[in-house]
Amino acid sequence: MTQKTAAPLAKVADSEKITINLGFVDLGQIDLLVAEGFYGNRSDFIRTAIRNHIGQHADAVKQVVARKTLVLGLQHFSAADLRAVKAAKQKLRIRVLGLATIAHDVEPELALATIESIDVLGALHASPAVKAALNTRSGKNK
């Protein structure tokens, strides 16, 4: 359940920063490919390698997304969205593969009153207070 709001949404980052540890030989081979012009930089190589590997498992990913009824991509919940859910005396089961955002003006009490469960494979952007409140409703803790 999403709806347009009058206030503009904050700009959402289109990526998440991660840290990995690589062996020196692997890192040297990546640097060699970058130096030879195959890739612009280490990050380009790593992104390409990840996309290629995910592509090899594309059918499995599609099957799991369908089986688990995940929203693929971006799902945003505004305070108005959650107030409408509360007024309808309903609860949400949020399941996202990608990015789920909960507006920063959503109070933890409203989130708890309207979100029964939340499972995000990717990233959840919400205020620290909302994340803490919803922590017990995440599939990661089960």
| Model pLDDT for residues 43-96, shown as the tens digit of each residue | 999 999 999 999 999 999 888 877 777 888 999 999 999 999 999 999 999 999
Q: What is the pLDDT of residue 69?
A: 78
Tokens of 16: 């998440």
Q: pTM (2 decimals)?
A: 0.66
Q: What is the mean pLDDT of residues 26-37?
A: 95
Distance CA 6, CA 42 (A): 41
Distance CA 142, CA 137 (A): 9
